[in-house]
Every structure is written in C-alpha cells, then in structure tokens.
C-alpha cells in the first residue's frame, strides 16, 4: 500500500495529512483558509491521490504558517508513501489551460528538491488570500517531497485562474510521476540504483 500519515505540530500549526497514491482523487480537506482548501481539492482530484487533510493554524496572524506547514506535511507524506520509489515513472509534466491562463509544470521525484517558479500574479490578493503564498506552498512541497519542480505561467490575466491552473498542472504531473511503470514495475528509475 502506497499510503502515508503525517502528524506535524508546532507552536504555529497542527497539521494532519493522510494520503493514498493509488486512489481516485477523493478528498476531505479543511485548513481554515477557503481559497487554499479549493486549491488543495484541485491537487487531490487531478492527481488522483486520495487526501484527508486537517490544519489548524495561527490564522489570527495571517495564512502564511498554515499554507507553508501544509506544504511541508504534504511533502513529507509523499516521501513516506513513495518509499524507495521502486516502479514509479518518476517524471511528469503538463501544459494546462484554464480560460486566460496557461501554466506549464514539470517535475522529477528525484530526492533533489529544487523549485523554479516562473509565475507572476497580476494581483496581490485572491479574495483575502495572499497570492505570494502559492509559491510558498510549492516551495515547501518541493523541499520536503524531494521534488525538482518547474512551474511557469505562459499566459494569464486573472490571478485565480493562474493559481488554479498551477495547482492542476502540478497535480497532473504528480499523477504521471507517481504511477507505476508497467514496463519497469520492479526497478528504481535511476541508473544509480537509488533515489
């Protein structure tokens, strides 16, 4: 079973994440940040990773700690669920349109975290959500999931559409990368023999 449960508690947040890489995209997500919940639901649905997530954070300050720590916990869950990565495809990419927005994502489950972020948001807020937190989430996910991740917005005039396209593009890329490769289901996808 490629599943994981992570419990992360700090003075700023308490996060609980349960995932199943071989799911159907079923989700139950509550972080206290409405727009962020909507984005995480897209991530689960389009990656086909079942996800139950609860976050309690210091929202009286702002959303930053909740968003970043959720990215940390979700990255840790991915690492745990992937184990030694035997049989995975390892790479994934997606060019995803959403109305005016066109976002490209490409990733490698390499255990070498690196984020390249080529996304400009036209506004600083989506409702009450700080748009800079989209990058913060993906930085934390990349770092703690051991993911080389490139995300580029090629077009877009609406911040909501750009952010949502980014989450969906990463989701579709993850879906491809975590899937079992039927031609090499018993091998680690590296000439090094380890990832």
CA distances, 14 to each of 7, 17, 64, 65, 77 (Å): 8, 10, 13, 10, 15
pLDDT (tens digit per residue) in 66-84: 999 999 999 999 999 999 9
Residue partners of 193: CB distance under 8 A and separation at least 6:
none
Complete DSSP assignment for 21-47: TTS-S-EEEE-S-HHHHHHHHHHHHHH
- Work out the average pLDDT over 46-56: 98
Return the pLDDT at 129: 98
Per-domain residue ranges for the chain? 3-178
Confidence check: pLDDT of 178 > 90:
yes
Instruction: Give the whole-angstrom CA distance, residue 82 versus residue 59.
Output: 31
Q: Please state whether the predicted TM-score (pTM) of the whole model is above 0.95.
A: yes
pLDDT (tens digit per residue) in 112-160: 999 999 999 999 999 999 999 999 999 999 999 999 999 999 999 999 9
CATH of segment(s) 3-178? 3.30.230.40
Residue found under tokens 């009450």: 128
What are the two backbone dihedrals, phi and then psi, of residue 75, each rounded to the nearest 5 degrees? -60, -45
Return the pLDDT at 189: 96
Complete DSSP assignment for the chain: --EEEEEEE-SSEEEEEEEETTS-S-EEEE-S-HHHHHHHHHHHHHHT-EEEEEEEE-TTT-SHHHHHHHHHHHHHHHHHHHTT-TTB--EEEEEEEETTEEEEEEEE--S--EEEEE---SSSEETTEETHHHHHHHHHHHHHHT-EEEEEEEE-S-HHHHHHHHHHHHHHHHHHHHSB-TTSTTS-SSTTS--
To the nearest 10 degrees (0 to 180), the angle between helices 34-47 and 132-145 is 50
Return the pLDDT at 1: 87
What is the chain's mean pLDDT, rounded? Answer: 98
pLDDT band at 24 (very low <50, low <70, confident <90, very high): very high
């Amino acid at each position: 079973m490629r599943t994981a449960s992570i419990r992360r508690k700090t003075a700023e947040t308490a996060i609980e994440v349960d995932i199943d890489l071989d799911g159907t995209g079923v989700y139950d997500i509550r972080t206290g940040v409405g727009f962020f919940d909507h984005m995480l639901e897209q991530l689960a649905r389009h990656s086909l990773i079942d996800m139950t997530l609860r976050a309690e954070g210091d929202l009286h300050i702002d959303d930053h700690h909740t968003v970043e720590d959720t990215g940390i916990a979700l990255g840790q869950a991915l690492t745990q669920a992937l184990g030694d990565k035997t049989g995975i495809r390892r790479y994934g990419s997606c060019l995803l349109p959403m109305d005016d927005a066109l976002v490209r994502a490409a990733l490698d489950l390499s255990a070498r975290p690196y984020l390249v972020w080529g996304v400009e948001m036209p506004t600083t807020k989506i409702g009450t959500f700080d748009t800079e937190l989209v990058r913060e989430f993906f930085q934390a996910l990349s770092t703690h999931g051991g993911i080389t991740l490139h995300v580029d917005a090629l077009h877009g005039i609406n911040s909501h559409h750009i952010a949502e396209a980014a989450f969906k593009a990463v989701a579709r890329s993850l879906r491809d990368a975590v899937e079992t490769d039927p031609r090499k289901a018993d091998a680690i996808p590296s000439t090094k023999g380890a990832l």
